[in-house]
Amino acid sequence: DAGVIQSPRHEVTEMGQEVTLRCKPISGHNSLFWYRQTMMRGLELLIYFNNNVPIDDSGMPEDRFSAKMPNASFSTLKIQPSEPRDSAVYFCASSATGISRGGELFFGEGSRLTVL
């Protein structure tokens, strides 16, 4: 079975450019999460969706960040304009759990973003 697929795996860009990260969750999963990982702050939850609807975006750092999930098989995280402090590894994760006590999250391999 295909796992969570993220693209690009690596992105190097210059400050001020727009960055779009993509995620394809596991088929049949109805919750999708975007995380950011840095040495300084560890693993941070940015936003999550259930049945394509954003549930909680309180972790999104600021208005430069936006996320969409137009359908059950695709999500994007966009940074516009990008800044050097956005450099991090961005993970997408999905889960088959709906209204429940919680279950396993399946993570993608991450998108490593470097903003110069």
Partner 1 sequence: GNSVTQMEGPVTLSEEAFLTINCTYTATGYPSLFWYVQYPGEGLQLLLKATKADDKGSNKGFEATYRKETTSFHLEKGSVQVSDSAVYFCASSNAGGTSYGKLTFGQGTILTVHP
Q: Residue 18 belongs to what H/E stretch? A: none
Taking CB under 8 A as the criterion, the residue among 19, 24, 33, 79 binding partner 1 is 33
Stretch that binds partner 1, among 14-22, 45-53, 61-69, 74-82 (CB under 8 A): 45-53
Name the β-bridge partners of 92: 34
Tell me the residue type at 88: A
CA distances from 72 to 10, 17, 54, 95 (A): 24, 28, 12, 12
Taking CB under 8 A as the criterion, the residue among 1, 2, 40, 42 binding partner 1 is 42
For partner 1, the binding residues (CB under 8 A) are 4, 31, 33, 42-43, 45, 48, 50, 55-56, 91, 93, 95-110
